[in-house]
Amino acid sequence: MNPTSITLLGGLTTDQFLAEYWQKKPLLVRGAIPGFTGLLSRDDMLDLSCRDDVESRFVSQAGGWTIDRGPFARAALRRKTKPWTVLVQGLNMLLPQADEMMRRFSFVPYARLDDLMVSYATDGGGVGPHFDNYDVFLIQGMGRRRWRIGNQTDQTLIKGLPIRILKDFRPVHDWVLEPGDLLYLPPEWAHDGIAVGECMTYSVGFRATPAQDMAEQFLVYLQDRVKLPDRYRDPDLKSQKHPAKIGAAMVDQVAEMLGRIRWNRDTVRDFLGSYLTEPKAHVFFDPPARPLNEKRFAAALAKRGIHLDARSQLLFADSRFYINGESATVARCDRATFKRLADERRLPAFSLDAASLATLHDWYRCGFVHLS
Ligand code: SIN
Ligand code: CO
């Protein structure tokens, strides 16, 4: 995408980064985001962890590793024995600046992106030495954090703990990250980040869906689309010695029947579009209380433009568009406009073909997009 070198990647071009580092080896970039000290204050972040529409975790090391899931009460957090850390997922869905920050990593396709997480830790706090199955960019916000990382093959975890802690962590690098520094880690690199004084860290995480999960979800998707109109029939039925036996002819007929379940590349594409844009369990949209009718909506669009809701996922493939688990076909003449909306997540004032207008109006009524 971007042929020029970028500060975010320490002067590498995005192509160089993808070829040399992505899913291959770590990269430490000092001053990746010059002047960056964070996107929100500690208090605002802890307030988020108290909301029931936000996914948060509390991890403590005091008296053995423990984990609690939010929402939390601020007073209860204040009483906790230090060191501890609180982690808030999906900051990109809660704060426009967080979404902007996450989109700085759009040299990796949105289909691979998961979310932006933020953590706050008291001095000495962290989640312990572990490995993740996904790529992550760790960006230091307020304060400093010491990161030790290693590429050990021994992934044995300590048994009986509520969180995943490596039994024998063998770091090969030891760095203290300052505000604005970035550390990229490929999947399965062992790491341990310990707050040096209180600190906040932002992580852009990616998807690493297990093939088994993908297969199971595909079968669920297929289940709603399979069409086998025939019925089991056996006009040639013969008497059999054991009435309890499932006859070979029955097995053959059902094998032939199920062999007629078909899918092709388009089915897989549509499954992926639906699967990748499906909102997470705690995500709900807020439809407008008094939506404009289609005619007024079109007029407003032509004056104000539109933007995606921070929680919306819009992806496309070929002529199909996928938003929050649903799919739509867009008229050829409007496809470039919809693609721009998907890439940039907003559009200046514009007008649309009637069929595409109905689609966008539908998305607006669902709360997936908003007039700017
Ligand atoms: C953090 O504590 O912010 C980072 C969590 C991790 O190591 O994945
Ligand atoms: Co991790």
Compute, in angstroms, the gap from residue 193 CA to the centroid of ligand 1. 6
Task: Check pocket membership of 126 for ligand 1, CB cut-off 6 A.
Answer: yes
Compute, in angstroms, the gap from residue 130 CA to the centroid of ligand 1. 9
Residue 191 alpha carbon, nearest atom of ligand 1: 7
pLDDT of residue 306: 96
Reported as a pLDDT band with limits 50, 70 and 90, residue 357 is very high
Cα distance between residue 342 and residue 334, in whole Å: 13
Mutate to test the pocket of ligand 1, among 118, 138, 145, 194 (most ligand atoms within 8 A of CB): 138
Ligand nearest to the CA of 203: 1
Cα distance between residue 227 and residue 197, in whole Å: 61
pLDDT of residue 74: 94
pLDDT of residue 2: 47
Mutate to test the pocket of ligand 1, among 59, 61, 87 (most ligand atoms within 8 A of CB): 87
Closest-CA residue to 337 (of 350, 318, 354): 350
> 272 by DSSP, 3-state: which?
helix
Distances (CA, A) of 14 to 5, 103, 108: 7, 14, 9
What confidence tens digit (pLDDT) does each residue in 14-46 have? 999 999 999 999 999 999 999 999 999 999 999
Region 209-221: mean pLDDT is 97
Q: Which amino acid is at 244?
A: A
What confidence tens digit (pLDDT) does each residue in 296-329 have? 999 999 999 999 999 999 999 999 999 999 999 9
What confidence tens digit (pLDDT) does each residue in 135-193 have? 999 999 999 999 999 999 999 999 999 999 999 999 999 999 999 999 999 999 999 99
**pLDDT > 90: percent of the chain:** 95
Distances (CA, A) of 154 to 122, 150, 212: 29, 11, 23
pLDDT of residue 55: 95
Task: Check pocket membership of 54 for ligand 1, CB cut-off 6 A.
Answer: no
CA atoms lying within 13 Å on the CB side of residue 15: 4
Which residue's C-alpha comes closest to atom 8 of ligand 1?
132
Region 72-92: mean pLDDT is 96
Task: Check pocket membership of 191 for ligand 1, CB cut-off 6 A.
Answer: yes
Residue 287 pLDDT exceeds 80 = yes
Closest-CA residue to 26 (of 157, 181, 202, 163): 181
Mutate to test the pocket of ligand 1, among 203, 204, 206 (most ligand atoms within 8 A of CB): 203
Region 247-276: mean pLDDT is 96
Compute, in angstroms, the gap from residue 130 CA to the centroid of ligand 2. 6
Task: Check pocket membership of 128 for ligand 1, CB cut-off 6 A.
Answer: no
pLDDT of residue 3: 60
What confidence tens digit (pLDDT) does each residue in 112-132 have? 999 999 999 999 999 999 999
Task: Check pocket membership of 61 for ligand 1, CB cut-off 6 A.
Answer: no
Compute, in angstroms, the gap from residue 128 CA to the centroid of ligand 2. 9
Cα angle value 102/108/111 (rounded, 5°): 85
**Cα Rg for the chain, rounded, in angstroms?**
25
Mean pLDDT over all residues of the chain? Answer: 95
Residue entry with tokens 């906790």: 80
Residue 250 pLDDT exceeds 50 = yes
pLDDT of residue 5: 77
Q: Which domains does the chain have, with CATH numbers?
A: 3-206 (2.60.120.650), 211-233+245-263 (no CATH), 294-371 (3.40.366.30)
Residue 1 pLDDT exceeds 70 = no
Cα distance between residue 249 and residue 245, in whole Å: 11
CA atoms lying within 13 Å on the CB side of residue 77: 25
Task: Check pocket membership of 127 for ligand 1, CB cut-off 6 A.
Answer: yes
pLDDT of residue 72: 97
pTM for the full predicted model: 0.93
Residue 4 pLDDT exceeds 90 = no
pLDDT of residue 355: 82
> 59 by DSSP, 3-state: which?
strand
Residue 52 pLDDT exceeds 60 = yes
